């Protein structure tokens, strides 16, 4: 008599382990934390850096001979508008700073995630300098979509504070009039120049921050537990590193965004005309104020980022 055999029932799928669930939850909240902490850091950066930024922009866009240097910009601004004058044009970056910096830090987190996804066989979770630079550059791509119109309006408002006709009553009025003049294309003028500045600049920015944090971390400790004073140092020097690369394209960006319609055909044309009119040194106008701003503003930025991350890590 033949006996029937039955195949064993398939094993029930194992439920995910507690560690796996926790890791998935951690991964899903990492992007949110990066986004929110970047916003906090950006607000801190603008509040500290605005007077320096205004000085830099006026030096870059002023007619030859209008200012003798950064200190002369400060002197003339104080004489004309008082302390309040240094915060002219702060509305656009402050209003846009949360999404702008938030997207930047989120983009950096996503850039690192891309690196991990393309290197599944890696033996160490520590990213190389090239990988960190890639993640930093990647962060500038989505950020530019937010930063370009914010920078456009900010430059125009800062320029009109130098005297002459007051064309714009404020940020919203500037956006309205730009749209009437040339639609979204006018509002987004200088987008390519913004990416040319922020791509290499962000690569240097995040790479420098990670490298300096690593150097300041005592042996055997996690860089995430670095003291706040060390965060200030790392953030400040990261800003200095970024602006070392970013000044020439920033000059072109400011001139493109502040010039009357039809003055320049694009980034290359603006660079060529700037060098022809004022010499190669014109590409470094505003270097002093930018460097003076770089350390305190970016120290404040990363301090805001780290403090907000610490607070969020206690909540979720």
Q: What is d(CA 240, CA 296) in angstroms, rounded to the nearest whole number?
A: 10
Tell me: the pLDDT tens digits for 188-217?
Answer: 999 999 999 999 999 999 999 999 998 998
CA-CA distances (angstroms) from residue 258 to 49, 82, 154, 283?
20, 23, 9, 15
Neighbours of 309 (CB within 10 A): 19
Residue-number span of the structural domain to which 260 is assigned = 29-315
- What pLDDT is recorded for position 158? 83
Query: Do the domain assignments include residue 73?
Result: yes
Tell me: the pLDDT tens digits for 131-155?
Answer: 999 999 999 999 999 999 999 998 9
Output the domain CATH number for residue 206.
Answer: 1.50.40.10
Find all residues with CB under 8 Å of 156, minimum gap 6, and list them: 89, 167, 168, 174, 178, 257, 258
Tell me: the pLDDT tens digits for 22-76?
Answer: 444 455 688 888 999 999 999 899 888 888 888 888 888 888 888 988 899 999 9
- What pLDDT is recorded for position 27? 56
Query: Do the domain assignments include residue 187?
Result: yes
Tell me: the pLDDT tens digits for 69-104?
Answer: 889 999 998 998 888 888 876 776 677 777 889 999
Query: Do the domain assignments include residue 24?
Result: no
Query: Do the domain assignments include residue 271?
Result: yes
Query: Do the domain assignments include residue 7?
Result: no
Of 35, 9, 53, 34, the residue nearest 157 (C-alpha): 53
Find all residues with CB under 8 Å of 145, minimum gap 6, and list them: 103, 191
- What pLDDT is recorded for position 171? 87
Count: domains in the chain = 1
Both tokens assigned to 185: 């294309």
Query: Do the domain assignments include residue 8?
Result: no
> How far does Cα 130 stand from its chain's mean position?
19
Of 236, 233, 249, the residue nearest 205 (C-alpha): 236
Query: Do the domain assignments include residue 150?
Result: yes
Query: Do the domain assignments include residue 63?
Result: yes
> How far does Cα 180 stand from its chain's mean position?
28
How many CA atoms are closer than 13 Å to the CA of 26, on its beta-carbon side?
Answer: 8
């Amino acid at each position: 008599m033949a006996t029937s055999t039955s195949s064993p029932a398939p094993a029930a799928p194992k439920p995910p382990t507690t560690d796996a669930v926790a890791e998935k939850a951690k991964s899903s909240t990492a992007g949110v934390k990066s986004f929110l902490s970047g916003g906090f850091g950006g607000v801190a950066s603008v509040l500290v850096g605005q007077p320096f930024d205004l000085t830099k922009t006026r030096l870059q866009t002023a007619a030859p001979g209008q200012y003798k240097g950064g200190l002369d910009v400060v002197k003339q601004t104080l004489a004309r508008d008082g302390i309040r004058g240094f915060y002219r044009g702060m509305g656009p970056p402050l209003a846009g700073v949360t999404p702008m910096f938030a997207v930047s830090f989120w983009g950096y987190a996503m850039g690192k995630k891309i690196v991990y996804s393309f290197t599944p066989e890696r033996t160490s979770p520590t990213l190389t300098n090239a990988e960190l630079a890639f993640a930093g550059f990647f962060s500038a791509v989505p950020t530019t979509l937010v930063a370009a119109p914010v920078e456009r309006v900010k430059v125009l408002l800062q320029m009109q504070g130098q005297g002459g006709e007051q064309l714009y009553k404020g940020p919203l009025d500037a956006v309205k009039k730009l749209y009437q003049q040339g639609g979204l294309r006018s509002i987004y003028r200088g987008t390519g120049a913004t990416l040319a500045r922020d791509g290499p600049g962000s690569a240097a920015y995040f790479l420098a921050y990670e490298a300096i944090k690593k150097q300041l971390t005592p042996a055997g400790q996690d860089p995430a537990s670095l003291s706040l004073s060390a965060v200030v140092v790392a953030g400040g020097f990261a800003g200095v590193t970024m602006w070392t690369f970013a000044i020439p394209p920033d000059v072109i960006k400011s001139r493109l965004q502040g010039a009357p319609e039809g003055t320049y055909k694009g980034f290359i044309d603006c660079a060529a005309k700037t060098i022809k009119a004022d010499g190669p040194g014109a590409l470094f106008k505003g270097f002093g104020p930018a460097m003076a701003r770089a350390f305190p503003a970016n120290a404040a930025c990363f301090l805001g980022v780290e403090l907000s991350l610490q607070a969020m890590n206690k909540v979720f």
